[in-house]
Structure 1
Amino acid sequence: MTMKHVLPRIRSRKLSYQPSRDGVLLLDGEIRYPRIAAAQAPNAGSQMSARCHLDAVEYLLFLQSQGYDAAQTVWKQKGPLPLSARQGFSVTYLGLERMSLVFQRTESWQSGPQQLGRTFCLRTGRLLALHDLYTGRYADSIYEYILDEIQREESSYYENYKVNARKHLQEENYFLTPQGVALFYPPDTIAPEEKGVLHFTIPYSLLEEYQIPRQMEEEPAP
């Protein structure tokens, strides 16, 4: 199968949320997410698009609750309005069989951005967790690599970084890149909040021995 038979077309879609009170715009929210069309695998494209749309709707619900409450508080205090919230996305990896996207979320009432990573099988549309790609003691190898990287600039992290790095190592916080598997930590987990989202890219060669054969990873979960 050639590349043109697998690579999807990706178009941006948008949800907006702009509540007002007494003629004052409280919150200007814009949520961009992809619509994915795979000509040779239309069901897979529909499944990936549906997942991204669901994530966008869940974020919209968050804005309608916590975002709206934050804006109401500023309105009552006669502070500057509107507050703003944005979600954008980028494709970090697009190969013959997998695609990774990163969703970047910024909210003016928060001190830093948040991220969401999504990796899909292009043949089936299935959302892939790390345990769909690797087996065995891959998590230990990832943890050890991250510790080695942290120790290069140890003073930039919290003193108990060894505990925090293990505690906050979440499988869903990853995406693929051409260089390797990128794991990320939200702000204020292993380092001060002003450091933002922290990334560690683990080379594929380090995880090669734990890789699950691709025909197995693509089978639907029972």
Structure 2
Amino acid sequence: MPRTARRAKGRGLDARQIAIVHRVAGIVLDYPGEDLIARIPDLRIAVAAVPDPARSALEGVLDHLERTALTQLTVDYVEGFDMRRRACLYLTYYGHGDTRQRGVALLSFKQAYRAAGLELTDEELPDHLCVLLEFSATQDAEVGTRLLLEHRAGLEVLRLALLDAGSPYAGALVAVCATLPALVGDEREAVARLAAQGPPDESVGLEPYALPDVKGARP
């Protein structure tokens, strides 16, 4: 078993359960549409195989998606993820903001995917959390988990931001973070520092990786 998978297993989930959490979380965090709503019954069946806290956290997101009108879901989604710097689904943004260094970080994602046999379309930014979670669940769990761990501080800041905002999507982040090792020492300090300071502000050097509207980031 890969080292990253062994570490995550210590949180009470096996490799199959981790894959389910990552796949379902990646689906529910995507821009909502009729296809997503139609998949909710199947997603509930999948989530039932996962232990708490991941199961109940994901079920809460599914409950919200099921009981909320689609038009309201789309409005809430854009307001929740596109209007707040600390609730961004693009993981390299947390560490690099709109700076030159972010372009390098994005290329490292693409190289990791390519090495695992995955080529993204030009419409997909490789650091989008939904892209990474789908990759981890269906392509390469070891590489996917490594990338999540490398961007753990941003992932945790996103989780905290959604919890603080009372977002129904917070459950998806709670579930994903439950598949990773508990934060320790320097990791906790990195999360606290990023939460306090936010991403860097310099807005240069990102071509061709300009940040799109959230609803256009995934086909």
| Alignment TM-score > 0.5, same fold | no
Query: Would you tell me which structure has more helix in proportion to its own residues?
Result: 2
Indicate the structure whose relative CO is greater, using CA pairs within 8 Å and at least 6 residues apart: 2
Pick the structure with greater CA Rg. 1
Normalising by structure 1, we get a TM-score of 0.23
